[in-house]
Structure 1
Amino acid sequence: MLLLLSLLALNVVASLVAGEHPIVLGSFSFPARTPFKPLLLFHAFLAVLLLSSIRRDREPLAANSTSSKNLLRIGVSIGALTALAYLPSFWVNFHELDWTHRHNGAGINSWNAFWNLFSKAQPDGMYRPLAFLSFWLDYQVFGDTLWGYHLQSVAIHSANAVLLLLLAQKLKLSTWTASFAAILFGWAAIHFEAVLWPAARFDLLATTFLLLSILLWLQHRQSEKAYSWAGAGSLGLYVLATLCKETAYSLVVLIPILYWVLNRSDRPREQADPRPYLLALALCTVAMLGVRYSIYHGIGGYAYGTAAASASFSFRSLYHLLLYPLTYGGFGINNVFLHWSGAAVLFLYVAGVLLWYWRADSRPARNLGFFLGMAVVAAIPVFPVIGWLQPTLQHSRHLYWPSAWIALGLAVALERSRLRLPIAALFLGAQLLGVFYNQSVYLRALAEIEGQTTRIGAQFPHPPQRLNLVREAGEENGIFYYESELAHRLSQELPHTELRICSAEQHCEGQTLAWKVDRSGLQLTRRSGD
């Protein structure tokens, strides 16, 4: 098994060196233009190995008690380290309004607008009013100062890492395992889109309320009363989570699973009757779905104009549900036009996985399967769109909540390794470098846009009245609002020129700037008009 895993790792390395090459498995061939598919196969086989080797005759390592003071120190350290990992994000700023949703924040300027946020349909077809209030708060404080919109996102993500630490402790994982899971979640390279893009804060906020809800539910479970303030608080936080993103609805399945698993392994002498809470949880779910139905005459969903987005329920989407949370929930980097530093990070990660599997206990603890299963369940509400994930890791934000459970599972698996500390350092190093690399892709793109638009501006001593911006055939770099930022910077360089964005199929009269992105970066070429 280690040999086959090594061959799949070699396939990942080959994709870094040779570029496009076919993956051949018997009579099946899969074309691979980037490391995306080789890494997917590598992760998928690793998941199969782990799930098939879970031992059932051995309990996980016993949790050691940690004082509140020490736990506070660990939590503060993890929160600070997580925030530092996203320090470069403050320099990643796009002027497109949807980058920050500041136009939506500015629109909440009266009690009527506030009420409409909760009672009227939103343009994108989603019902996430509470998250939009956070954009309103950003706008009140920062206005059009774009870097300020990152503060909430980075702070919330850091808080989520700390909350995961507390959840791991409540689930009676060892302090080392809980700490590793928390920092792994904080530094997970796959999270960069959810944290870097201020408008993706829906995932962050929903996860915050879900983690808090589970923590209060665990407290309620320890009480002898069927009704408690902790139980009510848990339900209230669940409702708040559903007002942030649809992933929150996974809790209605996660909590019963937790009840069943925890009662089998750690049933308290006295605990609350679970039925009232579970009934209330179901009623809250029905009520919130009812609200959505009354507003959208359905459950809502992505829609642009009159056309629904290409999300659909199918066997393919179910396949993606089982595949992507387990294969990309733990690690991923933008692997289109992979820079040498990104290739080094990917090589470091693959080497760390091989070393870990080689030196790990041959039969990991049984709660590993529980955590991996919880990750799949957590992804159920987004399974129609989870297949949108690209080699650029665009749309990876949908894996944010499921990856919390992946982090717990990986930490449980790693705690049995014979070289636990060096392998943990290798794992975390690869994640941290991956986070920096994913952010650097955006920083390099913005630098290229600035450099190319400055160069073009210098070529027009007498700017034309009209200029067309046309995209040529090229690759996707996965950066949201890239073209609109390019147009914005050109408008700044040529303030008296009317800039029009045209498709390659359109016939636009006048001078033209053709642009495309390839391995060498942004190519912006001036062309004569008709």
Structure 2
Amino acid sequence: MRAVTRARVGGALAAALALAVAALLLYAYRDLLARSFAADDFQWLLNVRGLGVRAVVRTAFDAGAQTHFYRPLVWLLFWLQVRAFGLDPRGFHALSLGLHLLNAGLLGWLAYRLRLGGRRSAAAGLAAAAIVLLHPAPFEAVSWISAQSELLAALLLLLALHCWLPGAGGRTLAQVLLATLALGLALLAKESAVIGLVLLALLGEATAAPRARVGWLGRLAPYLLPTLLTLAYLALQLVVERRNYLLAQGGYGLGTQLLLNPLRSLALIVAPLPGTEHADNAWLVPVGALVLLVLLGLLAWQRRAAPPRVYLVPAIIAALGLTLLPTAPFSSPPDSRYLYLPVLIAALLVAALGAQLMRLGARLSRSPALPAGAALLLMLALAWWAAGQLHAREGQFAAGAGPGGSLWRLAGEVCAQGAPERMVIVEPPLAAPHAVAIIELACGRSTQVLVVGRDQAAAAGVHALVIGFPNGSATVERTT
């Protein structure tokens, strides 16, 4: 009877904490729904608006038409949102929050199913989900609509991992097929999902029952379909990458960044302090190196230990390192949105280590509730701090996107009264392609758009609307 009562109390407490964390997330992003589109959002919207079902499917899956990345599911996602919400950004932001909440729930469920502390623990699942929801480092993945590719790819990879996790009777053919399908969809959402095959292998080996390790052929057979799928995708991606303008412009390369960027990412995951939003702080590299040494020491110690899941923590550490590889070739420090998947794995690692520490504390403490209470208080304090950091970073991102948002609003007001023949944008504090996309989206392609410097503004010609940014906000300077 007491056990049943304790279980009910524990379940009620877990539900209350989950609701509290979700409320903190909504509080942190309380201004998000009022934000406008930003940067690449306008180009995505321009690409899909006006397309029918057949046209958008044909364009999205046409590898020959892509000059950057091959992400057909992102095309379809934007198209569906335009159909559902029009050009109202509130619906887009709401979907980003929904995907983020769903990912946190799936990761928490995965932590629960993995028996991180030797048994299924709601506390471990809740801790993992809370870290994902409130970690400040990957805020851009939620704040920026174009970063929905990160959220979607993570969602599909998590589904693949859930499908791959064997049951009591082992992994079935249906599980293999479903996991392969989810992996394939993840690849169509974001090219960094190519690490999914290795994630499946790490999970499979870490959770395989001893009696299942009977021979190399039996162990490799389930990986045949995911491997063939990944190889086919890599061949397709090589064709697309030949036309990738970022490669031509030197956006990727081989050099010291192959080591420095993963170290920066590790430091940002462990210490997402104020002022680290651009990942260019000098102290990130040495701190990341220290974190790497700690992880290597932890890896060596865990390999010698013999808990029920003897290979689980080492597999999670290896998975964390794997998720840092896609951003390693970047010529600049990694943007915050690229930390989304690494934070997911880091949350799983913290939950696993926390479960082990809780078991140790329960054995050493005379009052088992003491370590649990201390951990709960620490988690709540960190959650409150993280919510404040998220709100501040989201506000900074919105301020940086302000010029584009002001141009979008001004163009909408002007063109609602009749699209001008020509619009001249003078020294916009945003990328020229984004400015052009904003005008074409608001006014149609019949309006000619010119982006010029201040010295060229005088030669705007007749029948032109000249727009400047005297205070960082779009303003009509004159009409010719």
TM-score of the aligned structures, taking structure 2 as reference length: 0.68
Query: Is the CA contact 1:131–1:202 (under 8 Å) kept in the aligned structure 2?
Result: yes
Aligned match for 1:469, one of 408, 426, 443:
426
Query: Is the CA contact 1:209–1:240 (under 8 Å) kept in the aligned structure 2?
Result: yes
Query: Is the CA contact 1:158–1:186 (under 8 Å) kept in the aligned structure 2?
Result: yes
Residue in 1 aligned with 2:333?
Answer: 389
Residue in 1 aligned with 2:200?
Answer: 255
Counterpart mapping for 1:398-477 below 5 A: 398-413=338-353, 416=357, 419-444=374-399, 469-470=426-427
Partner Cα distance (1:408, 1:127) in 2: 29
Residue type at the aligned position of 1:470: E
Counterpart mapping for 1:148-227 below 5 A: 148-173=91-116, 174-219=121-166, 222-224=168-170, 227=172
Residue in 2 aligned with 1:316?
Answer: 256
1:303 aligned to 2:225?
A: no
Counterpart mapping for 1:212-291 below 5 A: 212-219=159-166, 222-224=168-170, 227-263=172-208, 267=209, 269=211, 273-291=218-236
Q: Taking structure 1 as reference, are residues 382 and 108 closer, same or farther at Cα in structure 2, changes over 3 Å only?
A: farther
Residue type at the aligned position of 2:267: T
Residue type at the aligned position of 2:394: Q
Residue type at the aligned position of 2:179: S
**Cα distance, 1:72 vs. partner?**
7.5
Query: Is the CA contact 1:142–1:149 (under 8 Å) kept in the aligned structure 2?
Result: yes
Q: Taking structure 1 as reference, are residues 65 and 245 closer, same or farther at Cα in structure 2, changes over 3 Å only?
A: farther
Q: SS of 1:278's equivalent?
A: helix
Q: Residue deviations 1:273-317, cap 9 Å, x none? A: 432112222111112223444xxx35567426xx73423341323
Partner Cα distance (2:322, 2:277) in 1: 33
Residue type at the aligned position of 1:377: L
**Cα distance, 1:76 vs. partner?**
6.6
Aligned match for 1:502, one of 452, 463, 469:
452
Query: Is the CA contact 1:161–1:186 (under 8 Å) kept in the aligned structure 2?
Result: yes
Residue type at the aligned position of 1:389: P
Q: Residue deviations 1:222-247, cap 9 Å, x none? A: 4346x421121111101110010012
Partner Cα distance (1:250, 1:336) in 2: 26
Q: Taking structure 1 as reference, are residues 426 and 414 closer, same or farther at Cα in structure 2, changes over 3 Å only?
A: farther
Residue type at the aligned position of 2:266: L
Partner Cα distance (1:234, 1:164) in 2: 16
Q: SS of 1:244's equivalent?
A: coil
Residue in 1 aligned with 2:419?
Answer: none
Q: Residue deviations 1:252-287, cap 9 Å, x none? A: 222222333334xxx365589432112222111112
Query: Is the CA contact 2:24–2:387 (under 8 Å) kept in the aligned structure 1?
Result: no
Residue type at the aligned position of 1:261: A
Q: Residue deviations 1:139-190, cap 9 Å, x none? A: 1111122222112211111100000101111221243232112111111112
Q: Taking structure 1 as reference, are residues 453 and 510 closer, same or farther at Cα in structure 2, changes over 3 Å only?
A: farther
Q: Residue deviations 1:475-518, cap 9 Å, x none? A: xxxx8899849x97xx99xxxx99854347x65436998869xx
Q: Taking structure 1 as reference, are residues 329 and 303 closer, same or farther at Cα in structure 2, changes over 3 Å only?
A: farther
Query: Is the CA contact 1:250–1:377 (under 8 Å) kept in the aligned structure 2?
Result: yes
Partner Cα distance (1:451, 1:248) in 2: 35
Greater helix fraction, Structure 1 or Structure 2 = 2
Aligned match for 2:89, one of 146, 152, 157:
146
Residue in 2 aligned with 1:29?
Answer: none
Query: Is the CA contact 1:468–1:501 (under 8 Å) kept in the aligned structure 2?
Result: yes
**Cα distance, 1:401 vs. partner?**
1.0
Q: Taking structure 1 as reference, are residues 508 and 371 closer, same or farther at Cα in structure 2, changes over 3 Å only?
A: same
Counterpart mapping for 1:119-138 below 5 A: 119-138=62-81
Aligned match for 2:35, one of 92, 95, 118:
92
For structure 2, list consecutive stretches of 5 or more residues without a partner in the other structure: 1-5, 279-296, 303-311, 359-370, 410-421, 461-465
CA RMSD across the alignment = 4.6
Partner Cα distance (1:322, 1:466) in 2: 44
Moved more, 123-132 or 192-201: 123-132
Partner Cα distance (1:483, 1:108) in 2: 20
Partner Cα distance (1:420, 1:382) in 2: 33
Partner Cα distance (2:211, 2:476) in 1: 76
TM-score of the aligned structures, taking structure 1 as reference length: 0.63
Q: Residue deviations 1:196-215, cap 9 Å, x none? A: 11111111000001001101
Partner Cα distance (2:169, 2:397) in 1: 49
For structure 1, list consecutive stretches of 5 or more residues without a partner in the other structure: 1-63, 339-361, 455-464, 473-478
Identity of aligned residues (%): 20
Q: SS of 1:283's equivalent?
A: helix
